[in-house]
């Protein structure tokens, strides 16, 4: 039976009169890859800050490894590796100096993991961080994350600034790393297509505190898009209607035999669910 790594119960949080979460319940099991998805400003990073104890929620409880997230012990914090949206890199250091510096802070540090990711980029260890492209610099930062040998990886928008090549490199490496180390991952991203073959379960966060939860595969298979012309349709089936230059599309969880279905990517479905604007 899988252990519960993260458990959120009846979580509510507000900034003034703005509701971010309302009575949220969420469970993340050991070895799973869980995605927190949503448009900018809906509270993805807020949830991570609550989990890490940086923010105390208005109501409800959050636990990580059976400890309150607002009072994590130093031993439990050692089991968590966190990548915040954006990152800090010490540009004056070489790649080797960067590894040696960070290794002193983590008792389970594995330098082989760090250099394995660096070697994929064919870089000299003596190269200064300041001379690297943004994508290469990001990979060095991610290398320091993996080398910590943590049991829980929290990746808040790992894709920021990465081009398609570096994103693919990272995703491929992450899949192998998870398989080998059997870690649990909580991830946010704005690049939807990267997540299709990566995430097991997901929560789509919307403004006002509404959160939709399901397996990624269930959402892809059950959320559909149809072309709408003059047909009459029961509005209770419709999740969203889009209209552009006189053409209408509807998004729904209902299978409608009388309408023409439009083949859509996961990103299309995601935008159909949350809205483009």
Superfamily of domain 4-215: P-loop containing nucleotide triphosphate hydrolases (3.40.50.300)
Residue-wise pLDDT tens digits, 2-57? 899 999 999 999 998 889 999 999 999 999 999 999 888 888 889 999 999 999 99
Please give the pLDDT value at position 269.
Answer: 95
Torsion angle in degrees (nearest 10) through CA of 35, 39, 42, 44 = 30
Phi, psi angles (nearest 5°) of residue 114: -60, -50
Cα–Cα distance for residue pair 235/195, rounded to 1 Å: 31
Please give the pLDDT value at position 146.
Answer: 92
Please give the pLDDT value at position 23.
Answer: 92
Closest CA to 142 of 105, 115, 163: 115
Q: Is the pTM of this model over 0.85?
A: yes
Please give the pLDDT value at position 138.
Answer: 83
Please give the pLDDT value at position 157.
Answer: 80
Please give the pLDDT value at position 188.
Answer: 87
Low-confidence ranges of the chain (pLDDT < 50): none
CB 187, CB 157: distance < 8 Å = no
Please give the pLDDT value at position 195.
Answer: 86
List the domain boundaries for the chain. Answer: 4-215, 223-274
Residue-wise pLDDT tens digits, 81-93? 998 866 677 899 9
């Amino acid at each position: 039976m899988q252990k519960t790594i993260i458990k959120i119960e009846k979580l509510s949080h507000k900034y003034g009169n703005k509701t971010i979460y309302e009575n949220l319940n969420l469970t993340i099991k050991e070895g799973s890859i869980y995605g927190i998805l949503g448009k900018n400003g809906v509270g993805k990073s807020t949830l991570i800050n609550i989990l890490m104890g940086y923010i105390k929620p208005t109501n409800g409880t959050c636990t990580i490894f059976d400890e309150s997230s607002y009072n994590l012990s130093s031993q439990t914090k050692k089991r968590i590796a966190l990548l915040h949206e954006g990152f800090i890199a010490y540009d004056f250091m070489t790649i080797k100096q960067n590894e040696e510096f960070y290794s002193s802070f983590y008792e389970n540090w594995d330098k082989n993991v760090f250099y394995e990711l660096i070697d994929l980029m064919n870089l000299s260890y003596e190269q200064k961080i300041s001379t690297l492209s943004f994508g290469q610099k990001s990979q060095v930062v991610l290398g320091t994350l993996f080398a910590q040998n943590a049991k829980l990886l929290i990746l808040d928008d790992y894709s920021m600034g990465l081009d398609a090549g570096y994103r693919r490199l990272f995703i491929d490496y992450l899949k192998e790393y998870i398989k080998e180390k059997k870690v649990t991952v909580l991830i946010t991203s704005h690049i939807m297509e990267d997540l299709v073959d990566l995430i097991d379960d997901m929560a789509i966060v919307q403004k006002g505190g509404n959160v939709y939860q399901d397996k990624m595969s269930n959402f892809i298979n059950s959320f559909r898009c149809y072309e709408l012309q003059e047909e009459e349709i029961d509005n209770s089936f419709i999740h969203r209607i889009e209209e552009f230059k006189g053409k209408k599309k509807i998004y729904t969880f209902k299978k409608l035999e009388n309408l023409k279905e439009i083949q859509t990517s996961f990103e299309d479905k995601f935008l159909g669910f949350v809205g483009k604007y």
